[in-house]
């Protein structure tokens, strides 16, 4: 069987073209179109108070269309954020052009932008790009790749995931692509919230809109909202899913769980890929907190650890300096008793019941020299667990972000 | 007049000696003794849930002595944190030795430690160091410098400040030293709270204990608690003041404000020196938020901006990428209207009423090439202001913190 991709679910076409918005010559305008007669869609957006124009317009369109989104139009290289009324107008204009080439209504289009904040979109280029994309729509793997490339900024690789599951003899396919490398600390929500992470998911299942919305929020909480590169929630974060219904499988009742699991799996894979491709990252750091009093407490502690520059630098240097991990949990604001805690690094216990456990520095340091490092803090206070994915902090992160403007 | 120093206030002696705890040969055990008959003292400690042994013991001693602290004993190179019962015992032992050489009670000694977490103190070296310090006490500028050096870890320079003011014809002197370069994001409080920042203040005013406590908390909120290098509140943060009363000036009534201003000035100077000597720092970044609805709101926004690695890298690269500043304020959790905001960078307006203001990139970038950069966000919602001091994020920060264990 051929490898699955964003356009494997039936009823979708896509394109990615170079319109000259990015400085480097790579696709920067993407268009995803659902050709099915009655698609449903859901989206979660940034919770930042400063909201980019496309997020504002996207939210309106989702409401106006009653969740019937038929196209997604994206540009990379410019975030269209902090751009005032002209920015709003430009985001609407992107939708008008996309509606024109996709054969739908303006309010059936979800717009997205990613890149630098505070610059007006070069609309001549954007408009030409959308027209160009409309002329290059297709449903091949190649088309899926071009769309996935068109949404990237400082990412070093494209990010995609897909799964299939059976309902009776019928097959449902669910796929997604995303971008995100820096300004990553999403807190996505159905309610207004902000980071630049973009994710687009397609499925050929038929899913009622309300169910699709709640499953997307649930999946986002366990995936995109659990990844952090620099904890900087952006003005543009968006994750959206369109269900074409073309598989003929209606999701509800018992299948809802099956669909939810497929959605969670795709979202988690995409989120992990974001951590792995974090700006300057040399490894993924998986922070697990177990035995907390609530999931919120576990997540808050895991997030404090994952966001500590000291922890991230230690991981970059393969340094088993675990005191930084314990102390980060300590300032998270969550009540816990260090005297009951155990911390393991790559399976080696380094701290137990408030005291250091002797270990061989060189051996543990060597174990940290891996593409994935797991730090696990067990609190012994309750039954709640949480996992947060991050990456190490390297000199390359500084290089990338001290010189981004040039 | 000779320059003021930590031992200019009458009634104090100090020493700093090398005991072999630090890897590099530099003073690492400090002792500060107040010889006055009735000193008063106050201290604020970290709010981390993981509390180093000396903080625990110091809090107890402050309570037991009724605020009559007569000596401070400090070691650098080892934090005595996450060291369980043995750690507690070691911190008490430090106080016993200090009490012996200072001629006071064990519970009249405030202990501090700073350095790596999770290692047992080399007590043989610490004990010899304290005895050695006791034999080298003195009140000269040289003694003050040695004490200031003995508390440093990754700091590249010592930090000190002092002021004098008159009450009638009498002169009150207030002085302080501090350390802090990494793991800096103190939230100091009279109530249990954590970072490694240490500050010790001396004055020859006579100040009632309760007043001294409340003035120290107030001064800390506007200084130490407003500085962040990596937002990593430590297990050991401590700021303490001892008032010898030897000037003959009793503080109360009208003089309280005068004394508070002197204390605020010394603490602010020390906090600024911490930001300037932040690990890898090439400049101080002053983040000011004006016109917020409350001081808490202003401080929360300023702190979110100051802690953003993207903002800090941009400052390192002299990059006027102001969208990172506005978006950081946006995810701080504080309600505000970007459409009413103005942002200036070194006095140049770059964003006003939700829209970018054209500016010359090269000129503003050149203005960021300074030892102090001011970013000022005006919200136009209320009358509250706050200032937070931080530094840029450089490759050297990563070098220092990826290799600290070796």
Contact A84 B322 (CB under 8 A): no
Among residues A255, A144, A192, the alpha carbon closest in space to that of A43 is found at A192
Among residues B80, B224, B361, B160, the alpha carbon closest in space to that of A118 is found at B361
Q: Which of chain A's residues have a Cβ under 8 Å away from the Cβ of B84?
A: 339, 353-356
pLDDT at residue A164 greater than cutoff 80 = yes
Nearest CA distance, A94 vs chain B (angstrom): 19
Contact A354 B84 (CB under 8 A): yes
Contact A356 B322 (CB under 8 A): no
pLDDT at residue A253 greater than cutoff 90 = no
Q: Choose the catalytic residue: B196, B202, B235, B344.
A: B196
For residues A112-132, b (16+ Cβ closer than 10 Å) or e, as one string? Answer: bbbbbbbbebbeebbbbbbbb
Distance, in Å, from the CA atom of B278 to the CA atom of B395, rounded to the nearest integer, reads 13
Q: What is the DSSP letter of B107?
A: G
Contact A331 B48 (CB under 8 A): yes
Interface of B with A in 186-245 (CB under 8 A): 187, 194-195, 230-235
Distance, in Å, from the CA atom of B46 to the CA atom of B11, rounded to the nearest integer, reads 28
Q: Strand A159-167's sheet: what is its strand order?
A: A40-45, A238-243, A198-203, A170-179, A159-167
Distance, in Å, from the CA atom of B162 to the CA atom of B263, rounded to the nearest integer, reads 9
Least confident span in A170-174, A232-236, B34-38, B364-368: A232-236
A84 contacts chain B (CB < 8 A): yes
Instruction: List A78's β-bridge partners, or say none.
Output: A114, A116
Q: Which of chain A's residues have a Cβ under 8 Å away from the Cβ of B368?
A: none
Q: Over the stretch A16-34, which tens digit does the pLDDT of each residue have?
A: 999 999 988 899 999 999 9
**Residue B191 confidence (pLDDT):** 56
Mean pLDDT of B20-39: 94
- The SS3 assignment for A269 reads helix
Among residues B323, B317, B314, the alpha carbon closest in space to that of B356 is found at B323
pLDDT band at A350 (very low <50, low <70, confident <90, very high): very high
pLDDT band at B196 (very low <50, low <70, confident <90, very high): confident
**Residue B319 confidence (pLDDT):** 94
Q: What are the φ/ψ torsions at residue B378 (nearest 5 degrees)?
A: -105, 125
Q: What is the pTM of this model?
A: 0.89
Which are the catalytic amino acids of A? 196
Q: How far apart are the first and last CA of chain A?
A: 44
pLDDT at residue B184 greater than cutoff 80 = no
Q: Which of chain A's residues have a Cβ under 8 Å away from the Cβ of B381?
A: none
Show the CA angle centred on residue B99, arms to residues B74 and B26, nearest 5°. Answer: 30
Q: Which of chain B's residues have a Cβ under 8 Å away from the Cβ of A309?
A: 230-232, 309, 393, 397, 401
Show the CA angle centred on residue B258, arms to residues B254 and B262, nearest 5°. Answer: 160
Mean pLDDT over the full length of chain B: 93
Distance, in Å, from the CA atom of A336 to the CA atom of B48, rounded to the nearest integer, reads 11
- Strands B284-292 and B372-378 come out as parallel
Q: Provide the residue count of chain B.
A: 406
Contact A323 B235 (CB under 8 A): yes
Interface of A with B in 260-279 (CB under 8 A): none
Interface of B with A in 326-365 (CB under 8 A): 326-332, 334-336, 338-339, 350-351, 353-356, 361
Contact A330 B119 (CB under 8 A): no
């Amino acid at each position: 069987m051929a490898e699955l991709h964003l356009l494997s679910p039936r009823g979708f076409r896509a394109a990615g073209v170079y319109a000259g918005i990015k400085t480097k010559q790579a696709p920067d305008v993407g268009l995803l179109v659902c050709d099915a007669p009655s698609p449903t869609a859901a989206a979660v957006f940034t919770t930042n108070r400063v909201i980019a124009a496309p997020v504002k317009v996207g939210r309106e369109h989702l409401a106006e269309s009653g969740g019937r989104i038929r196209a997604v139009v994206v540009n990379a290289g410019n975030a269209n954020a902090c751009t005032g009324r002209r920015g709003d107008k430009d985001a609407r204009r992107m939708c008008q052009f996309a509606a024109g080439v996709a054969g739908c209504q303006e309010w059936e289009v979800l717009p997205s932008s990613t890149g630098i904040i505070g610059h007006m979109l070069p609309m001549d280029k954007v408009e030409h790009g959308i027209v160009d994309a409309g002329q290059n729509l297709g449903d091949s793997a190649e088309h899926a790749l071009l769309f996935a490339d068109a949404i990237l900024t400082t990412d070093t690789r494209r990010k995609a995931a897909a799964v299939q599951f059976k309902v009776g003899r019928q097959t449902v396919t669910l796929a997604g692509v995303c971008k995100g490398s820096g300004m990553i600390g999403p807190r996505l929500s159905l309610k207004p919230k902000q980071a630049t992470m973009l994710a687009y998911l397609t499925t050929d299942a038929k899913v009622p809109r309300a169910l699709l919305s709640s499953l997307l929020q649930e999946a986002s909480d366990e995936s995109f909202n659990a990844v952090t590169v620099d904890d900087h929630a952006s003005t543009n974060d968006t994750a959206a899913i369109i269900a074409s219904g073309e598989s003929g499988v209606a999701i509800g009742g018992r299948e809802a769980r099956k669909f939810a699991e497929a959605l969670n799996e795709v979202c988690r894979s995409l989120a992990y890929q974001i951590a792995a491709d974090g700006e300057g990252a040399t490894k993924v750091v998986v922070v697990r907190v177990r035995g907390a009093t609530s999931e919120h407490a576990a997540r808050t502690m895991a997030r404090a650890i994952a966001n500590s520059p000291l922890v991230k630098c230690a991981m970059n240097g393969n340094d088993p300096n675990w005191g930084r991990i314990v102390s980060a949990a300590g300032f998270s604001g969550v009540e816990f008793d260090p005297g009951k805690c155990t911390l393991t690094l790559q399976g080696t216990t380094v701290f137990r019941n408030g005291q250091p456990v002797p270990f061989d520095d060189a051996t543990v340091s060597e174990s940290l020299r891996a593409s994935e490092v797991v730090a696990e803090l067990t609190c012994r206070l309750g039954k709640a667990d949480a996992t947060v994915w991050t990456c190490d902090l390297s000199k390359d992160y500084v290089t990338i972000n001290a010189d981004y403007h040039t």
